[in-house]
C-alpha cells in the first residue's frame, strides 16, 4: 500500500537563490563591486572553467520570465537575496535608485503571482570597499551593515514580511579566514572567531532595527547550515570530537541567535586556547535581547568525525581541525555526481534537536538540494531526466514529514535551487536547479524534477 506524505496546510513550497548567483548585470545600472567581482578579477583561474559572476543566470533582466516559471512549477514562496553592493554601491551612502526599482519589480511580480517573498540581506557578498576596511572584523562595517538592513526594511518592508539577516554566516568566516575558499583568503583562527562573533552581533543589530520599525506582520530570522556531527563510535574520545565540532560549527551561531547566549562549553574551550573574541558587555546584552523570530535550516550533508589520531603539530597553524579528524564512514552513501554524502535522516535529527533544545522555534528548510556535474548527459526528449533529484527530495521529505508528525514546528521546504546558478568558486560546475539554464543562450528548460515539484506543491505532498 502506498503511504501518503501530506504536509500541514499552507506549507511553503519553493526554492532559494542568492543575488550574486543569479542576477548577473554585475557592473550594470550603478552596481558596486562585491568581493566576488573583485576576486574574480584577481584570480580568474581559481573559478571553475574560468567563469566569473558578471552574467550568471541573468535574473536581473529575466526576472519576469523566471517568476512565471516559478509559478508554473508550483512555488508559493521564494527566497532571494538583496545585493548590498547593488543597493548601496560602496556599502555606505547613497541608495541606488535603479536597484530600488529592480527589487521593487521583483517583489511586486512575486506578489502578483501569489509567491511569498523571503528576502536575505547578506549571502556572502560583501561590498569590496567594506572588505577592504576589514569586513566583519570592523565595527564600522557592522554599523554600515545595520544601516543597509534598515534601508531594506524601510524600502521593502511594506510588502516583504519575511526577512533573513544572514545566509550561513559561518561560511564566509570559514572560507575567508580558515580554508581558502572566500576572499580575503587568509588562515587565522582568531580572526575567524572574531568574524563569527561580529556576524552574530550584526544580525542582532539588524533585528533591533527591525523591531523598532514595528513592521506589520513582519518576522525576521537567520539561515544556518546546521550540519549534524556524528561520532565514529561511542568511545569517549570520539564523542568529545563530535561535541567540539558541534560547538564550533553549529552551536556557535544557533545558541546566540535563538537563545541569546553562547554555550558555556564553547566559551571555556576558546578561553583555554586564548581565542575568545573581543566583545563588550553591551554586545552580549544586544545579542540577548535580539534573538530571531524563526530559523532557516540549510541541510546538505552530515559531518562525521573521529578523535584525532595524531596530536597536531604545536607549531602548525591552529584551526578547528586540531580537535577532530574527518571520519570516512565505510558504506556511507555518496552523491555520485558531486562527492557529498547523502544522509536523509540528518534533516530529522536537526529538527528534533531544535524541538527539544531550542524551544521548538518556528523553522523551515531554507535549502536542501543535490548538485550534479555534467547533467546534460541525462537529457532525453529535450528534458533533463533527473530522477536522482526527485529521489533525493523524496528521501528528505519523508524524514521531514516524520519530524513534523512528531511535533517539530516546520513551516516549509525550499530546494536549492530554482534554476541552475553560478556558485562561489564552483561557478556552473554543480547544477542544482529545477529549471536548467544554458549559460550560452540563457534558455531555460524545466527539468523532470520541476514537473514533479509542481505536483508535489499542488498535492501538498506525495505518496509512495
Ligand atoms: C549552500 C550555499 O551552502 O551551498 C549556496 O548557501 C551554494 O550559496 C550551495 O550554492 C551549494 O554549493 P556548491 O558549491 O555546490 O554550489
Over its length of 464 residues, how does the chain's per-residue pLDDT go in tens digits? 899 999 999 999 999 999 999 999 999 999 999 999 999 999 999 999 999 999 999 999 999 999 999 999 999 999 999 999 999 999 999 999 999 999 999 999 999 999 999 999 999 999 999 999 999 999 999 999 999 999 999 999 999 999 999 999 999 999 999 999 999 999 999 999 999 999 999 999 999 999 999 999 999 999 999 999 999 999 999 999 999 999 999 999 999 999 999 999 999 999 999 999 999 999 999 999 999 999 999 999 999 999 998 877 777 778 888 899 999 999 999 999 998 999 999 999 999 999 999 999 999 999 999 999 999 999 999 999 999 999 999 999 999 999 999 999 999 999 999 999 999 999 999 999 999 999 999 999 999 999 999 999 999 999 99
Nine-digit cell string for 397: 521529505
Q: pTM score, two decimals?
A: 0.98
Residue 312's pLDDT is 77
User: Would you say 76 and 13 are in contact if contact means Cβ atoms under 8 Å apart?
Assistant: yes
Neighbours of 99 (CB within 10 A): 23
Residue having the nearest C-alpha atom to atom 13 of ligand 1 = 423
Closest to 102 (Cα-Cα) out of 165, 34, 12, 24: 24
For the chain, the structural domain boundaries read: 4-463
Residue appearing with cell numbers 508550483: 74
d(CA 417, CA 17): 6
Question: 4-463: what fold?
Answer: TIM Barrel (3.20.20)
Compute, in angstroms, the gap from residue 74 CA to the centroid of ligand 1.
23
Q: Return the best residue to mutate from 53, 182, 424, 431 for the ligand 1 pocket (most ligand atoms within 8 A of CB).
A: 424
DSSP letter at 335 equals -
Q: What does the alpha-carbon distance between residue 149 and residue 143 come to, in Å, rounded to a whole number? A: 10
Quick check: ipTM above 0.85? yes
Specify whether 243 is catalytic.
Answer: no
How far is ligand 1, taken at its centre, from the CA of residue 298, in Å?
Answer: 10
Q: What is the pLDDT of residue 318?
A: 84
The closest alpha carbon to 156, from 86, 234, 102, belongs to 102
Radius of gyration of the chain from its Cα atoms, rounded to whole angstroms: 21
430 lines ligand 1 (CB under 6 A): yes
Dist. CA 372–CA 389, nearest whole Å: 9
Which mutation among 118, 300, 370, 416 tests ligand 1's pocket best, with the greatest number of atoms within 8 A of CB? 416
Amino acid at each position: 500500500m502506498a503511504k501518503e506524505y501530506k504536509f500541514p496546510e499552507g506549507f511553503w513550497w519553493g526554492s532559494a537563490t542568492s543575488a550574486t548567483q543569479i542576477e548577473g548585470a554585475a557592473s550594470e545600472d550603478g552596481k558596486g563591486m562585491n568581493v566576488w567581482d573583485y576576486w574574480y578579477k584577481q584570480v580568474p583561474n581559481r573559478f571553475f572553467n574560468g567563469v566569473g559572476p558578471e552574467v550568471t543566470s541573468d535574473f536581473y533582466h529575466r526576472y519576469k520570465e523566471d517568476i512565471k516559471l516559478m509559478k508554473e512549477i508550483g512555488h508559493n514562496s521564494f527566497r532571494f537575496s538583496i545585493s548590498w553592493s547593488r543597493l548601496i554601491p560602496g556599502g555606505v551612502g547613497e541608495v541606488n535608485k535603479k536597484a530600488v526599482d529592480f527589487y521593487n519589480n521583483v517583489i511586486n511580480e512575486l506578489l502578483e503571482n501569489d509567491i511569498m517573498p523571503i528576502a536575505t540581506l547578506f549571502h556572502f557578498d560583501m561590498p569590496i570597499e567594506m572588505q577592504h576596511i576589514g569586513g566583519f572584523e570592523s565595527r564600522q562595517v557592522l554599523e554600515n551593515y545595520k544601516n543597509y538592513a534598515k534601508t531594506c526594511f524601510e524600502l521593502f518592508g511594506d510588502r516583504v514580511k519575511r526577512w533573513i539577516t544572514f545566509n550561513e554566516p559561518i561560511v564566509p568566516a570559514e572560507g575567508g579566514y580558515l580554508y581558502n575558499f572566500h576572499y580575503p583568503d587568509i588562515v587565522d583562527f582568531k580572526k575567524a572567531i572574531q568574524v563569527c562573533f561580529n556576524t552574530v552581533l550584526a544580525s542582532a543589530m539588524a533585528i533591533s532595527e527591525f523591531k523598532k520599525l514595528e513592521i506589520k506582520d513582519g518576522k525576521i530570522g537567520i539561515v544556518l547550515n546546521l550540519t549534524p556531527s556524528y561520532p565514529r563510535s561511542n568511545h569517549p574520545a570520539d564523542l568529545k570530537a563530535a561535541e567540539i565540532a558541534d560547538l564550533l560549527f553549529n552551536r556557535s551561531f544557533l545558541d546566540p541567535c535563538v537563545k541569546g547566549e553562547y554555550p558555556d562549553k564553547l566559551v571555556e574551550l576558546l578561553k583555554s586556547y586564548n581565542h575568545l573574541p573581543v566583545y563588550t558587555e553591551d554586545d552580549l546584552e544586544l545579542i540577548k535581547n535580539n534573538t530571531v523570530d524563526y530559523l532557516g535550516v540549510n541541510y546538505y550533508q552530515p559531518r562525521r568525525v573521529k578523535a584525532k589520531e595524531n596530536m597536531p603539530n604545536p607549531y602548525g597553524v591552529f584551526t578547528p581541525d586540531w580537535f577532530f579528524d574527518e571520519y570516512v564512514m565505510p558504506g556511507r552513501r555518496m552523491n555520485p555526481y558531486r562527492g557529498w554524502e547523502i544522509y536523509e535522516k540528518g534533516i530529522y535529527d536537526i529538527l528534533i534537536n531544535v524541538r527539544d533544545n531550542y524551544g521548538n522555534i518556528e523553522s523551515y528548510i531554507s535549502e536542501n538540494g543535490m548538485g550534479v556535474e555534467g547533467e546534460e548527459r541525462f537529457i532525453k526528449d529535450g528534458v533533463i531526466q533527473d530522477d536522482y533529484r526527485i529521489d533525493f527530495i523524496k528521501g528528505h521529505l519523508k524524514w521531514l514529514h516524520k519530524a513534523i508528525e512528531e511535533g517539530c514546528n516546520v513551516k516549509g521546504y525550499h530546494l536549492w535551487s530554482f534554476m541552475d546558478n553560478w556558485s562561489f568558486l564552483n561557478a556552473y560546475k554543480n547544477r542544482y536547479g529545477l529549471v536548467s539554464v544554458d549559460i550560452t543562450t540563457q534558455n531555460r528548460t524545466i527539468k523532470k524534477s520541476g514537473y514533479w515539484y509542481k505536483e508535489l506543491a499542488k498535492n501538498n505532498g506525495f505518496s509512495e
